[in-house]
Amino acid sequence: MNAAQRPLGKESDRLLAQIFDECAERVLAGETLESCLARYPQHSADLEPLLQSVVRVRGLATVPPRAPEVAARSQAQFMAAARQMAASPGARQRSRLASFWDSWLASFDVLRPIPTGLVAAVVGVFLAGLLVTGVVSASANALPGDPLYSVKLATEQARLWFTHGAARDLLNNQIQEERTSEAIAVERSRRVVDQIPLDGTLTAFDPRQWAVAGLVVRIDSGRTAIVGSPYLGALVRGTMRAPGDGSLVATYLSVEPRPTPIPTPPQIPSRPQSLMGPQRGGGVSRTPSPTGRHGGQHFLGIPTVYATRTRRALSNATAPSSTLGASTVPAVQTSAAGATTQAAPMVSRTVAPGALLTAVAKPTRQVVGTVAPGSTSAGTPEPESTPVPSAVPSRTTLPSATAVRYPSITPAAGTVAPSRTATALPVPTGTAVATSTPVPSPSPTTRPTSPPIGSGPVAPQGSPTGSSGSTVPASQAATATSQPAGATPTASPVVTPVSLVPDTGPASPLGIGETAGSSAEGANSPGYISTLVSLP
């Protein structure tokens, strides 16, 4: 870049450019070079060669005169074209329009000093705002399924974003009412909409329909996915669809778990050490109950709807691994992480040694598995499992009580931390009964992971010994002593002083959302997905 092309960054260059322009103007007007330079003696050295160049260029700017005939011919051509254009009526009309347009634009002469880019930006922002405002206004009456419905939802979220305090609660209520109105409008108009948001309080429910936020939503037993257990007053979120027949069918419902009070460990009576002996059928066992707390019947007389857990969740529930036998710490923590399903928070519980397992649920659970003869599922370091010649291939648990959450159970004071040895017993009626014997063991926690149902032997995964994997693990025996409805419990009904602190909340009236072994084993996670099955 030469000096002539470098930017005039310095103030002196700008000043020189200004002075040069003034002097050049004077020279072009006829003033002499000397007089111009005399005005700026301090810059004369810089200005003089430049002004001389200007004078020289002016001297070279000789233009030969135009040939008269050529100029006349050009003018004649121009005038002919001008007359021809003037004879065209369309041109006159366009010219009038152009004149009006020019006069209208001339009224904006006041904007001329403003940079064009700034004016364009302002106009662009204005037009964009106009467009957004128009779209938002048009979306105010949009219904689910309309193209602008997402705009409506986004607008509501934006309003919520900028609203705080009591006004936010009020706005939330308004939005919920709007959702209800939209659903009613969709229902009445018999429109087919695949997805309609649902959010509100459960005011009534039965196996076939729920009343949420003033809407009656049909439950499709084969398609509706329900997360959680319903109870009156529960906050329900989900989606529904409008098949076009004037009804609303729930596709997904998530029931907010009821607030659980902090459980207090019950006073567990000390038990004699003799009960913890490795007696067959003794140790940890639970007294199975063929019915739940409500006996499979709603207290209002509505038939109980049982939720059968999905395959995965069920298998997780039926074959939890445990290290109960290796526990020397006061608490053994089992986790239902293996039963993770959609939107299922991990729920873990701590099973206190000596916790009583019989007081909670009466699940009817079906477990398909095989217990190999002679296999043991014992904890370390010294498994004391009793070899089982034949295992029951299946086990059925039909829960009829509310899914119970066990946030944390602390051992009772003075309780001896036992480990338990599980023994899988052959049950002719298809009931697997396991017992566990508390044995002091240093296993802190376990997380049950279970194979899918029907995949073969119920293997105690994560067992410290991992002996054969073909017996019902001790933890399962301890946590899921269950029998099919009507089955005769063949295990020893000895109740070991192992207790879980159950949820003290009311049981689900219908048992909807109940899962197999939901109360007595480690799979009582509230985050499973259930499929509703109506009992006869």
Partner 1 sequence: MDWLYSLICALSFSTFTVVKGESTRAELAEQQALLDRASRADPAALGALYDQYSPRIYTYVYHRVGHAEVAEDLTGQVFMRMLEAVRSGRTWRTSFSGWLYRIAHNLVIDYYRRRGRASFVDLDDVDPVRSEADPLGAIEAKLDSERLQSALSRLTDEQAEVITLRFLEGLSIAEVATIMNKNEGAIKALQYRAVMALRRVMQP
10 Å Cβ neighbour count for 261? 10
> Which phi and psi (to 5°) does residue 322 adopt?
-155, 155
Task: Kindly state the smallest distance separating residue 251's Cβ from partner 1, in Å.
Answer: 59
From CA 273, how far away is CA 440, in angstroms rounded? 12
Task: Kindly state the smallest distance separating residue 63's Cβ from partner 1, in Å.
Answer: 5
Question: Looking at beta carbons only, is 77 or 273 nearer to partner 1?
Answer: 77
Task: Kindly state the smallest distance separating residue 35's Cβ from partner 1, in Å.
Answer: 19
Helix (H/G/I), strand (E/B), else coil: 131: helix
Task: Kindly state the smallest distance separating residue 64's Cβ from partner 1, in Å.
Answer: 5
Cα–chain-centroid distance for residue 212?
A: 21
Task: Kindly state the smallest distance separating residue 45's Cβ from partner 1, in Å.
Answer: 13
Question: Looking at beta carbons only, is 18 or 133 nearer to partner 1?
Answer: 18
Question: Looking at beta carbons only, is 108 or 299 nearer to partner 1?
Answer: 108
Helix (H/G/I), strand (E/B), else coil: 278: coil
From CA 312, how far away is CA 357, in angstroms rounded? 24
Question: Looking at beta carbons only, is 54 or 160 nearer to partner 1?
Answer: 54
Task: Kindly state the smallest distance separating residue 31's Cβ from partner 1, in Å.
Answer: 14
From CA 154, how far away is CA 133, in angstroms rounded? 13
Task: Please name which of 440, 290, 267 lies closest in space to residue 356, comparing C-alpha atoms.
Answer: 267
Which residues make up the interface to partner 1 (CB under 8 A)? 2-6, 8, 13-14, 16-18, 20-21, 24, 28, 49-50, 52-54, 56-67, 70-71, 74-75, 77-79, 81-83, 85-86, 88, 91-92, 94-99, 101-102, 105, 112
Are 252 and 197 a contacting pair, CB within 8 Å? no
Task: Kindly state the smallest distance separating residue 82's Cβ from partner 1, in Å.
Answer: 4
From CA 427, how far away is CA 421, in angstroms rounded? 18
Question: Looking at beta carbons only, is 46 or 256 nearer to partner 1?
Answer: 46
Question: Looking at beta carbons only, is 61 or 413 nearer to partner 1?
Answer: 61
Task: Kindly state the smallest distance separating residue 104's Cβ from partner 1, in Å.
Answer: 11
Question: Looking at beta carbons only, is 23 or 495 nearer to partner 1?
Answer: 23
Q: What SS3 string covers 308-357? A: EECHHHHHHHHCCCCCHHHCCCCCEEEECHHHCCCCCCCCEEEECCCCEC
Task: Kindly state the smallest distance separating residue 44's Cβ from partner 1, in Å.
Answer: 15
The strand pairing partners of 349, in sequence order, are 334
Residues 6+ apart with CB under 8 A from 244: 190, 191, 192
Question: Looking at beta carbons only, is 73 or 311 nearer to partner 1?
Answer: 73
Question: Looking at beta carbons only, is 41 or 49 nearer to partner 1?
Answer: 49
Question: Looking at beta carbons only, is 53 or 273 nearer to partner 1?
Answer: 53
Q: Report whether the peptide linkage leading into residue 259 is cis, meaning its omega lies within 30 degrees of zero.
A: no
Task: Kindly state the smallest distance separating residue 56's Cβ from partner 1, in Å.
Answer: 7
From CA 190, how far away is CA 241, in angstroms rounded? 11
Are 523 and 405 a contacting pair, CB within 8 Å? no
From CA 17, how far away is CA 230, in angstroms rounded? 84
Task: Kindly state the smallest distance separating residue 121's Cβ from partner 1, in Å.
Answer: 18
- Which one-letter DSSP state was computed for residue 21? H
Question: Looking at beta carbons only, is 45 or 60 nearer to partner 1?
Answer: 60
Task: Please name which of 390, 348, 353 lies closest in space to residue 373, comparing C-alpha atoms.
Answer: 390
> Which phi and psi (to 5°) does residue 51 adopt?
-70, -35
